Amino acid sequence: MTDASHFISTRGQAPRANFAEVLLAGLAPDGGLYVPAAWPHLSESQISGFAGARYQDVAFEILSRFAGNAFAAADLKSDIDAAYAGFSDRAIAPLREIAKDEYLLELFHGPTFAFKDIALQILGRLFARALQARGGKATIVAATSGDTGSAAIAALGGLPNIQVFVLHPRGRISDVQRRQMTTSPHANVHNIALEGSFDDAQALVKGLFAETAFASEIGLTAVNSINFVRIAAQSVYYFTATAALGRAANFIVPTGNFGDIFAGDAAGRMGLGIERLVIATNQNDIMARALNDGVYAEGSVHHTISPSMDIQVASNFERALFEASNRDAGWTAAAMSDFARMRKLVLPPLVLENLRARYSAFASDDAQTLATIKRIHDATGQIIDPHTAVAAAAVAHLTTPGPKVILSTAHPAKFSDAVARAISLAPPMPPPLAALDKLPEKLDILPNSLPLLRQFISSRLAAWT
């Protein structure tokens, strides 16, 4: 095995793991995040050779370097092909030019119309395969503010040996988002509408993990964005976009939990030439403040029209800190524990300098987001969703040369209310989303109570065996 297929924790206290172990575990046992012991390296000619290649073949080239011998090459290949077979655009992640040297990288052509499908469709299949090899069953519990839940259900619904519980805050997600989850026909999918907020839902999930006896009895696992396999799968479109453009680009990324933009950083560490990685946030601007002021400090959550980015603490930032400290796990562990106590971390000069060498960061508020949706619609006829618009709004600040690639993370029909506010026009509803209206919904309403949640999960699991 190469170092690229061995994984270590950012906090330095976990045994090395392989790709399948990292996939099944999510979080490292010392509380850190898994990163490869060394980044794999692709040569310039390998990367330029990706121009015109099938997206699935590029994905195999990248993922196989991390997978080592944890999966047979033929299995990995067939899971990647199956993952993208249902995408509505053959290019999987097509580039669309909207102005001179300015492009949308469309990542929403999967089954749930947001970019989470690109990684979760692969992750679900590999997860089932790894679980079968290891033996046993898994219970996945996820809290969602909308997009992650539907993508997880689309990826894991109907798979053997896996039960999926998704908690959403009752009444706080859009109708489309709710129906995407509650109309799943699969018996292993359990939707819980929680009487509480997204933060309450997340706290309950954390509470379940903290009940270690119960957690190990049910094989509790998470598939949230700290899972390294998601990062690896998301790095692929940075390669395909750059190869198609033929030169180093600026990537402008609507950022919440820092997973998508760190995938770009990962691509750079694998040898991809990148001009700038631009962190675009809404009013939840912890990342913009960290980069610009040098202080990573939690604020209070603002509810915005780009709700999938209404996050204060960007979990994957730990990976960027580990790299920016020149892989100093001792410092990273101490920094994260300071942050957990003080909710604030002053970035040392070396770390800040290394971060600024790669990343820039800009924040936009809802008014700027709405104005950007309108500006682009007026200029091009193209309708973008509010998350994409947060990124498009940041383009004006860029001074570096090279093409500007805006990551377009959701289909506008998923957020039609905000879009209609911007352009007085509802985006056309794709037939699969319109059809959800006619399907029966399946969900249980639970109060915000850890014992009741535990009881609910136990009774569903008892009925399953």
Ligand X SMILES: *Cc1c(COP(=O)(O)O)cnc(C)c1O
Query: Active-site positions?
Result: 116
Least distance from ligand X to the Cβ atom of residue 356, Å: 19
Q: Give the residues lining the site for ligand X (CB under 6 A).
A: 114, 116, 147, 225, 254-260, 308-309, 387, 409-410
What is the DSSP code string of 380-437?
Answer: HS----HHHHHHHHHGGG--S-S-EEEEE-B-GGGGHHHHHHHHSSPPPPPHHHHGGG
For ligand X, the closer CB: 64 or 281? 281
Cα(415)–Cα(418) distance, integer angstroms: 6
Q: Which amino acid is at 253?
A: V
Sheet with 220-221, edge to edge strand ranges: 220-221, 138-143, 162-169, 189-195, 444-447
DSSP output for 13-82: -S--B-HHHHHHH-B-TTS-BEEESS-----HHHHHTTTTS-HHHHHHHHHHHHHTTSS-HHHHHHHHHH
One-letter identity of residue 425: L
Q: How far is the CB of 122 from ligand X (least distance, A)?
A: 16
Compare residues 235 and 257 and give the one whose CB is closer to ligand X.
Answer: 257
Beta carbon of residue 351, minimum distance to ligand X (angstroms, whole number):
20
* 8 Å CB contact between 265 and 40: no
Q: Which residue has the tokens 């949640």?
A: 453
CA distance 264 to 278: 10
Closer to ligand X by CB, 183 or 224: give it. Answer: 224
User: At its nearest, how many Å lie between ligand X and the CB of residue 224?
Assistant: 9
CB 130 within 8 A of CB 23: yes
Question: What is the Cα–Cα distance from 314 to 319, expressed in whole angstroms?
Answer: 10
CB of 146 to ligand X, least distance (A): 7
Which residue's CB is nearer to ligand X, number 34 or number 258?
Answer: 258
Residue 282 has what DSSP assignment? Answer: -
Nearer to ligand X among residue 18 and residue 283 (C-beta): 283
Whether 314 and 2 have beta carbons less than 8 Å apart is answered as: no
Q: Are strands 444-447 and 274-281 parallel, antiparallel or unpaired?
A: unpaired
Q: Please state the closest distance from residue 309 (CB atom) to ligand X, in A.
A: 5
C-alpha 44, offset from chain centre:
27
Residue closer to ligand X, measured from CB, 83 or 410: 410
- Minimum distance from CB of 118 to ligand X (Å)? 11
Nearer to ligand X, 124 or 254 (CB): 254
